[in-house]
Amino acid sequence: MSLPQFPAILNEQITQEGYGREDGTRFAISEPASGPHFAQLLTDDAPTTFTLQLILNGQHARLFRAWQRSNNYAVLHGQQFLINLRTEDGMLTQTASFLPGGIPQVQSIKGDETTYTMRVLVRRINENMPDYESFYWRIDELGEPSLLQTIVNDNMPEI
pLDDT score recorded for residue 133? 55
The residue range of the domain holding 39 is: 8-126
pLDDT at 114 exceeding the cut of 60: yes
How far is the C-alpha of 157 from the C-alpha of 146, rounded, in Å? Answer: 16
Quote the pTM value.
0.67
Residue 134 and residue 107 share a domain? no
| CA separation, residue 118 to residues 15, 70, 111, 140 (Å) | 11, 18, 21, 43
Q: Convert the pLDDT of each residue in 14-70 to its tens digit.
A: 876 555 666 666 677 777 777 777 777 776 667 888 888 889 998 999 999 999 888
| Long-range contacts of 131-139, Cβ-Cβ distance < 8 Å, separation of 24 or more | 132/156
Instruction: Identify whether the C-beta of residue 65 lies closer than 8 Å to the C-beta of residue 76.
Output: no
| pLDDT class of 5 with cuts at 50, 70, 90 | confident
Residue 154 and residue 82 share a domain? no
Instruction: Identify whether the C-beta of residue 85 lies closer than 8 Å to the C-beta of residue 11.
Output: no
* Nearest CA-CA partner of 48 in 85, 7, 1, 10: 85
pLDDT score recorded for residue 151? 67
Strand ranges (DSSP E) for the chain?
Answer: 14-23, 27-29, 39-41, 48-57, 81-87, 90-98, 105-110, 113-122
Residue 158 and residue 101 share a domain? no
Residue 86 and residue 23 share a domain? yes
Average pLDDT, the chain: 78
Q: What angle do CA 124, 125, 130 make, to 5 degrees?
A: 120
Q: How many domains would you assign to the chain?
A: 2
* Nearest CA-CA partner of 77 in 25, 1, 4, 7: 4
Residue 91 and residue 119 share a domain? yes
Residue 151 located in a structural domain: yes
- Identify any residues that bridge with 62 across adjacent strands, giving them in sequence order: none
